[in-house]
Each structure stands twice: as C-alpha cells, then as structure tokens.
Structure 1
Amino acid sequence: MIEPRNLQDLRDALSVKEEKKSLKHAINKRSSFLPFVTRGTERPKFKEGFDGVLGGFTRQISGMQLNQRLNNGELIKQMSMNVNVEDRDKQYLEQILSMFLLDNGGSLKVFHPYMFQYLPFSESVESKGEQEISRFLADVFIEGDNEFKGFFQNTHSDDLISKLVLTNLGGLEEKNTELKYRTKLNHITKIFKEDFRYLFSHEDYFKNHYALFLSYYYFFYITQITLKFSQKTKGDLYYNNEVFYTLDWEPTSKSRKGYAFGYQTIKDASKNLLIDINVLEHLNILFGVNNSQSYPELKATYENSSEEKQGVLKRMIREWMQEYRSILSLTNNSIDENLEYDELVMELFKSIQETYEKSTMQGPQSRYPLSIDEVGKKYFMKTRGSLGYMLNASQDLLLLMTALSLKDERKSLKQVFVELELRGLYFDKYSKEEIVALFDKLNLLDKKSDSGDAQYVKPIL
C-alpha cells in the first residue's frame, strides 16, 4: 500500500546513514526476480554439468532435503549385507552392485527417477549459487503445486537390483520452504508445467533429457525476463520477445537473423540488468507491495490507485532521488516537480546508473549478468568465428522441444514452428529449411493430408 512511511522503509532497507553519506545497494529485500549473484566465486560455472541444480530442484519440488552426500562404498556394503548370499559370494555381489550403481567416474547412476533426489550440490563455494538457482526454478515453474510433489517419490521398480538399491537409500528428510520468487512470465510457467508432465510420462526419455530440459527452460526464462526489464513499462509479460537461434550444424553469416537478433539482443539488454533490479527494489518498497512487481505491474498498480495515492508516490520518488543523489555526491540534486510517473522512474534509473558508472561500482554491474553467459555458453551458445557468440540449437535440443511441441499429436509443419516459438526457439527461413530436411531424414514428415501437399510432423515419443 502506498504510504508516506514507505520512504523510511526504503532508507532502512538500504542502511542509509545520512550523517556518513552512505547507503548499501541491497537487492532481494522486498523483491526477488533472479537468482544471480555479484560475487564471482559463488556463481555456478557448470564445469561438471547441471546435476547440482537438477538434484536441488528435484528435492525442492519433492519437499525434501539431503542430509548428507551418499557414501557409495558404504552404501554398496550395506546393500550386500541385506542379501542372503554365501560369504564367498559377497565380493561378486558387491561388484555387480558397483557396476549397476556407479559410472566410470565413480558417480551415482540415475537408473530411476527417484534417484535424481540424490544428486548433490557441488562441493565448492559455487554450491550456494546452485542452491539459489534450484529454489528459483522450483518457485517460478512449480509454484508450490502439490501435483508435482509425488513425481519423484515413487520407488516402484520391477527390477530386483533396482528394488534392492531403492529400498536401501536413506538420507532424505522432509523440508518445508516458503516461496521466495514469483513467476513474472506466466505463459512460460504454464507451458513448462505442460511439458514437464508429458516428459515425465516417458521415463527413459525423461532420464536422458531431464538436465537439458531444465537447463533450457532456465535459460529461456532468465533471458526473456532480462529483455522485459530492459523495456521498462513497455515490456509485455504475456508474450515472448523474439530472439533467433541458429542450428548447430549449419553455417551462418552477418546477414542472418541469428546474428543481429540473437545473443547480441540479450547481451545489450543485460548490460543494465543490475540497475533495473535496483530500481525495482526501490519501487517495490515505495509502493509498499510484497509480491515482487515488475515495471508493467507497478505501472498498473499506480494507475489503479487514487489521485491522492499517486501524488504521495510521486512525492516519495522525488524526495528519494534528491536524497539518493545527495548521499552519493551526484551532481544536480534538483528534481522537476512536474515529472509524471514514467518520467520519474526513468530519472531514478538514470540516478542509479550514474552511481554504477563510478569505477568502484562497475565490477558488480558487469558480474551480475554473467549468470546468463555461464549457462548459455555451456549449453545454448556457440562461437562463430569473427561473428562471436550466437544462440545455438543442437539437434538434441531441437528434437526435445519438437517432441514436447507435438506430444501425442500429428501437427502441421507451420504449427510446429509456432509451438517452438512459444518455447522461445525462433528460426529464420534458412534454419527452417534445415529443420525440414532433418525431419525428412529422420522420417518424421508425413506428406499425406487432406489439404494436398501440406506437410505434417509425426509425434516423436
């Protein structure tokens, strides 16, 4: 609720000390939008893949926590003790269990969906970043929906060794957590849930593609919300911003949409991402809201308020900017009293931007959006010589998202591309021709239809 006391709440949140001319650029106090960190040591680099986040996300939606990492050697010995075999055969049983349970690197094999709960976070300081991403993904995509809680709790298996392993696993206990993040892009959350349900219903395919699925939706969401924030109140929260991918196996050039309207679009938008996060933090506190409202949502809240409340808010923003600029010794502390809401928001943005242009503040600003690059360069971007990085769709990603677009239906080629775009994958006409050729090669095209020569794509799963 818009109240004059909100200005003091903002001062308290930022630890303002007028006598010392100091404040802290604190974020995630009243509004939490992204799980990014400004400390490079805590930012996950995904050198060992997405398993840490995968395990954390799975436990998060199951309402569980892992008390301790599994000791694979002790686990195998414990299981062999629970099987009635001759002592001389114990070593052979343990060898069989080891081959079944562990991969060549000694890590746990995920042979059943239940096992995903046992994938641990990294043992480095990056585990803090992995935990935050896991919570973020569970909050924005699952939203505490109990339907998904039981997905990974079933331990049923017809295989005897699987039964032995699953019944001897321990270390999980229930954990209740409150939602910290709220989805700002409901259309992405809705389609994630639909795709997650379908993918989980195909167990073998799910086990092999779960990491790719979750990492892509993470990249999809964070890039879209970054683009929305860069557009301020004009950002449309109900539709995707177009960003173009090129296929892993095709050549490209500067004339392709993937060059001008791909990664570069995201990179440009992300340059001021930390400033946008700060602006939104300040505004959410001044508005007195607790549901992490974005620029368009705050604008709607403002427009739905009485004229009196609108006047109170504008006065608070003006007063805060004057105070902020004075504390940080920025030039020209006078703020035009006739500025309207949108103009005031932009002036607040410029004030914070001016602060971050100082040499002592440029580090956090440049580090904050690197979380986008870390997951992107690992899975969804590729260097193209002198063209630099471009958004990249591998064959695995394309076929996964095509399978999810189709589900159990045969759909027209045109509709498949529409479905891919709903999932954030935009392709120019050259890439589309390559995709049609791939579908044809894999015998996924059905050219027989009631409409003559129209092409349809057959379900993959």
Structure 2
Amino acid sequence: MYPIPEVLSLTSNNKPSSYIPVRNKGNDFAWDIITGLVLSHALRKQIKQYEFDQFRNDCKLLLQSKLIDSPNFWDVINRMYFTEESICKISPLFLLFKVQRQGEKKKDIGAANFRMSDLFSNLMGDLILKDELVQKHNFIEHEILTIFGNKLEKYDVDAAREQAYLPYLSHAFQSDLSFLAIRPQYLLQELTNLLKLYAFAYCSQLSLNIKDWKCEQPVSKPLYFILDTEKASSERTQPQRYGYRLLVDTFEQVFPVLSALENLQFDEYKCPLWQVYQDIINYADQDRLLTDINTYLEIFIVDRIGQTRLEQHQQAASTSEAFQQIIDLAIEQFKVSTSSRHEINGKYTRALKELCSDFIQSRGRSGQVLVLNQDQLMLLTNISIGNKDKLLMNDLMREFERRGFYLDKQSQQALVDFYERMGNVARMSDSGDAVYVRKTI
C-alpha cells in the first residue's frame, strides 16, 4: 500500500516531475551524449578519467610493438580509426568515451542530458545487456577493443526511484533494445534514432494518458500519423481528430497534472498518478483521509487561485471526488493569466512540442500534422517484427500501435506500397489479403 501521511502539505512552488524530461528552460539535448549514458546504464559499465589522446597513444605503443616489420603502418591506422574519432564506428562501446564519470556527475554532460537518460533508464527497468555487444572484428580492431576493455569498470545502478508510468511502453522498449543488442552494427547505426523514437512515444503517450488516471493501468492511446510521402487532407477523420491537434492540446495539461502528483508523493519511491489514485481509494481510513484532502484543497485554493474561488468551492463527498478536485484545481491554477504559472506552463508546452518536432510537419491548408518518414518507418518495422522472420500486416500494425504509432487504412495502403518498393513484402494468397512483411536486416 502506498504510504499516506497524517497531513497533506502544500509545497511553496509547483515542482517539476521526474516523469517528464523537459523543464521550462534548459532543454538542449545532445543525443550522442544521451546515447552514451543509456548504453552505459544498459551495460552497467563506465569509463573514468581516460582521455581520448591517451587511448590513442596506448594503441600506438601496443600496435607498433606487434607490427615491428611495418613501423610506419601506424600512420595508416591512425588515419583509419582515430581521425575525427572514427573509432566510434567500430563498436557502440566507444560511445562511453562521451560520458566519462569522474566521481560526481560532470557538469559538461549537462542536466538536460541526464534527465533524458533517466527517462530511458526507467523504461529499461532491470534490463541488462549481458552479451556486451559481441561482434566480429579484424586483428587491429580486436587489439584496440582489448585496450579499451581493460579500462572499463562495472558500476552498480541505484535502485529504481519510480514506478513506470507507462508499463506497456516500458516492455516494448526493453524488447526493442534487446533486439538491437544482438545486432551490434545495427545498434550502432540506429540506437540514437531508437531513443528519439521512444522520447516522442513516451511524451505523446504520457500526454494522452495524463487525465485517464482512474484506469488500473494505462493503455496505448490512438495517435494517428501519415507517411511523409502522402498528401494531407482535412477529410481524413482519424489523422484530423486523433492527430497533431489532440496531442498539442494534451501537452497543456502535462505539467499541471504532474505538479499535483508531486504533492501526492510521500516516499522516495515515486508512483504514477493512476497508482496513487488506486491506493487512495483503497485506503483503510477513508473518513480521515477525506477530511485531510478537503482541508488541503481549501488551503490550495486560497494560496494558488484566490479567496473568491474558495467561496464557490464545495467540499468533496468522497475520496474519489476529492482526487478529481485535486487534478481540476491543479489545472485551473495555471489558467490564471495574471500569474507567472500561466507563462511557465506555456514554456513546458512549447518544450514538449519542440521535443516532438521531428514528427511534425506543416502541410498547407491542412495545417500541422504528425508524419513518419522512411527512416522512422524502417526502424519501426524492424523492431516491430523483432526476432521473427516476418509478420502479417495486421499484426505489424498492432505492434506499431503498441509503441504509440497509429495509421489509418489509407496510410496502411501507402505503407504496403512502400514495402513493395523495398522488396520486403510477401503476398500469400491470390486475393492479396494475406500480406506478410519481412525485416530489412
């Protein structure tokens, strides 16, 4: 049972939530650094105080000692692997160079990058990539990796600090990361793109689920895209009704609702809103808890909205009703235009929109729409098929939707045409109904 305190207390300011990676400022994400942080967490490995120039010099000394008959060959090796850090193309392990830890977190890694990597760490849960990205290398690459491997250290990840807000998306991410890990070259090529895909999926699905806290667990919510090669049309009901506009409207509620959640966190281990609600309505002493929440709400109204609003307020008759009032009032406080909170929430909304900008396009009279380009489609296709040889088209669409990406019938047909041009479609019946899609790797 989630711990309920004897008295609910109102914090002086709305706190940013760990369940969202953006803040009202300071959202400059460096995806190469984030990728390194995520990989370090997944492997439970790190590297400390080992500069790239020192690494290159160590490689030079070792390889020259083994290539005595060709002392000048080092110049070739240096150009091949160490010019502009081309070494990173050998193995994903070398991404750890970008996130070296020296005692405390290094300031130059950036708070925004740590926030984003924490999001993926929470999605990962207890997943560990144990195979250490084994792949084939030539003699020189093997020696270089050996030197680097000797500098790697294990580190223990702190115990989870929060329960997954979107368990279904967490399970999908763990599956997809494991799929890439047994294909190190593909992981090296696509890991950053996978993280960008899931950053969007998480923020969009969190937004769509943010007010559906009465459910026992969140589920994937419809959010419709079109292919970037398609023409947008205002007559397409699903992309218009359950697309860009719906998403942006829900962005406005994310920070207010999560700020209310922060006031309901009574332990170091954080829980999502839907879990807190379940614990509150199942709490043994409902009368005491209801009195406590009603008192809290009156203090909240006076402090955040005003005395006049308190005169219109009616006390809740149940903890469920009281919980609804907590959320409604949390949103209402940000609508007071004379308050700085209104401006701050606008910054959070814009930060979320900017984070999702890779999936947004302006299409003339149709306005802005959500789109998937060919690279995103191929990555989605490969991770959705996963370790299977092929998937029936309908099953593939279910896998897209499990990750938060929905296509209407028109876009699905355009996608089949795209697959046929790629040559990874097999039709198993004369009618063409049984369409199977194969991976491209």
When normalised by structure 1's length, the TM-score is 0.82
CA distance in 2, matches of 1:383, 1:86: 58
- Cross-structure match for 1:18: none
Residue among 91, 109, 134 paired with 2:117: 134
Q: C-alpha displacement at 1:107, in angstroms?
A: 6.3
Separation of aligned partners in 1, 2:271 and 2:223: 24
Q: CA contact under 8 A between 1:325 and 1:351: conserved in structure 2? A: yes
- Conserved in 2, the CA contact under 8 Å of 1:43 and 1:126? no
- 1:157-176 equivalences under 5 Å are 157-169=136-148, 172-176=152-156
What SS does structure 2 have at the residue aligned with 1:180?
Answer: coil
Asked if 2 retains the 8 angstrom alpha-carbon contact of 1:271 and 1:366, the reply is: yes
- What does the per-residue CA deviation read over 1:25-84, in whole Å, with 9 as the maximum and x for residues that have no partner? 2344xxx3223222x2x21245xxx2111101111222234434743x443233112222
Does 2:310 match 1:333?
yes
Match of 1:33 among 7, 12, 19: 19
Partner of 1:320: 296
How does 1:117-266 map onto structure 2 within 5 Å?
Answer: 117-120=96-99, 127-140=110-123, 142-145=124-127, 148-152=128-132, 157-169=136-148, 172-176=152-156, 177-233=158-214, 237-256=217-236, 257-266=238-247
* Residues 1:101 and 1:373: Cα distance change in structure 2 (over 3 Å): farther
Unaligned runs of 5+ in 2: none
Give the conservation status (yes or no) of the 8 Å contact 2:252–2:345. Answer: yes
Check conservation: 2:125, 2:160, Cα contact below 8 A.
Answer: yes
Moved over 4 A (4+): 1-4, 85-92, 121-126, 154-157, 449-453
Deviates more, 1:290-299 or 1:418-427: 290-299
What CA deviation, in whole Å up to 9, does each residue of 1:427-461 have, x standing for no partner? 11221111111111222221234987522223433
User: For residues 171 and 384 of structure 1, what CA distance do their matches in structure 2 show?
Assistant: 51
Q: How many residues align?
A: 427
Q: What residue is the counterpart of 2:380 in the other structure? A: 401
Per-residue CA deviation, residues 323-350 of structure 1 (Å, 9 max, x unaligned), is 2233346123355334333332333234
Please state how far the C-alpha of 1:134 moved relative to its aligned partner: 0.7
Residue range with higher mean Cα deviation, 118-127 or 332-341:
118-127
Deviations 1:258-278 (A, max 9, x none): 233212211101102111011
Tell me how far apart the structure 1 counterparts of residues 268 and 58 of structure 2 sit (CA, whole Å): 49
Matched letter for residue 330 of structure 2: I
User: Distance between the aligned counterparts of 1:275 and 1:110, measured in 2?
Assistant: 43
Contact between 1:155 and 1:166, CA under 8 Å: does it hold in 2? no
Quick one: which amino acid aligns to residue 394 of structure 2? K
Gaps of at least 5 residues in structure 1 are 15-22
**Residue 43 of structure 1 is aligned with which of 27, 40, 59?**
27
2:40 to 50, 59, 65: 59
The letter for the 1-side match of 2:117 is S
Relative distance call for 1:305 and 1:354 in structure 2 (3 A) is: closer
1:293 equivalenced with 2:271 (yes/no): yes
Secondary structure of 1:233 counterpart? coil
Aligned mate of 1:24, from 9, 13, 35: 13
Secondary structure of the residue that 1:230 maps to in structure 2? coil
SS at match of 2:264: helix
> In structure 2, which of residues 377, 382, 407 is the aligned counterpart of residue 427 of structure 1?
407
Equivalent residue runs for 1:380-399 within 5 Å:
380-399=359-378
- Counterparts of 1:453 and 1:349, CA distance in 2: 47
Q: CA–CA distance in 2 between the matches of 1:4 and 1:199?
A: 44
Q: Which residue of 1 aligns with 2:333?
A: 355
State the shift of 1:413 in Å.
1.9
CA contact (8 A) 1:114 1:155 kept: no
Q: Judge conservation of contact 2:243–2:370 (CA < 8 Å) in 1.
A: yes
Give the Cα separation in 1 of the matches to 2:305 and 2:283: 33
Alignment partners' CA distance in 1, 2:258 and 2:240: 27
Find the counterpart in structure 2 of residue 418 from structure 1: 398
Report 1:370-385 matches (<5 A): 370-377=350-357, 379-385=358-364
* Amino acid of the structure 2 residue aligned with 1:44: D
Question: Would the aligned equivalents of 2:92 and 2:184 in 1 still touch at CA under 8 Å?
Answer: yes
> SS of 1:457's equivalent?
strand
Q: 1:248 to 1:4 in 2, by over 3 A?
A: closer
Distance 1:374 1:349 in 2: 25
In 1, Cα distance between the equivalents of 2:332 and 2:50? 46
